[in-house]
């Protein structure tokens, strides 16, 4: 394995599934400007996710339509002019 290519600044972070409010505390070096108080009472950097194992149909066995901030409408508007 090459040396010096992996980040050294890992810290505890909370990853939060915004569609189900499911939270996971794990180590990460991903940048974050927000913080959140976790269930243990401590405050950690927050990294927001649109989908996780708690909301993904493969893991839940349920099909769920999650339209976060009008993703479908944004897609249609973006590619609507390609029909012409």
Mean of pLDDT values over 24-40:
93
Q: Flag whether the pTM goes above 0.95.
A: no
Residue 8: is it exposed, middle or buried by C-beta count within 10 angstroms (0-12/13-18/19+)? exposed
Domain map (residue ranges) of the chain: 11-82
Q: Which of 47, 26, 27 lies closest to 36, judged by CA? A: 47
- Per-residue pLDDT tens over the stretch 71-83: 777 777 778 777 6
Return the structure tokens found at 24. Answer: 């996971």
């Amino acid at each position: 394995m090459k040396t010096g290519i992996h980040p050294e600044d890992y810290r505890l972070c909370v990853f939060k599934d915004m569609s189900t409010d499911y939270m996971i505390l794990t180590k990460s070096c991903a940048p974050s400007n927000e913080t959140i108080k976790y269930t243990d009472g401590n405050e950690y950097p927050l990294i927001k996710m649109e989908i996780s194992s708690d909301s993904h149909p493969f893991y839940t066995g349920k099909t769920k339509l999650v339209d976060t901030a009008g993703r479908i409408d944004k897609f249609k508007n973006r590619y609507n002019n390609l029909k012409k």
